[in-house]
């Protein structure tokens, strides 16, 4: 599966979950891709480090599937 397919698959899962369960209001982010990245990083890092990583990605304008592929 190529990167584009993975990105589309993850966003598809996100949208199906959102349609089925609606917003849960427990995650601090609003953007789907930021939520996906945060959820993945949380699996192996402390939350404070996840917050730092996401802030760094935002500062570098790299919080998108396209930017992360580069």
For residues 1-20, give the mean pLDDT.
89
Closest CA to 54 of 30, 70, 19: 30
Torsion of CA 70, 66, 56, 46, to 10 degrees: -100
DSSP 20-34: HH---S-SS--SHHH
Token digits for 6? Answer: 């993975």
The pLDDT of residue 18 is: 92
pTM comes to: 0.66
Q: Are 35 and 26 in contact (CB under 8 A)?
A: no
Q: Where are the domains of the chain?
A: 3-69
pLDDT of res. 20 = 97
d(CA 68, CA 70): 5
**Band of pLDDT at residue 61, cut at 50, 70 and 90:** very high
């Amino acid at each position: 599966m190529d990167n584009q397919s993975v990105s589309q698959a993850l966003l598809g899962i996100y949208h199906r979950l959102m349609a089925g369960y609606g917003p849960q209001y427990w995650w601090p982010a609003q953007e789907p891709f930021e939520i996906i990245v945060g959820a993945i990083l949380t699996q192996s890092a402390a939350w404070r480090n996840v917050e730092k990583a996401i802030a760094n990605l935002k500062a570098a304008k790299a919080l998108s599937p396209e930017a992360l592929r580069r």
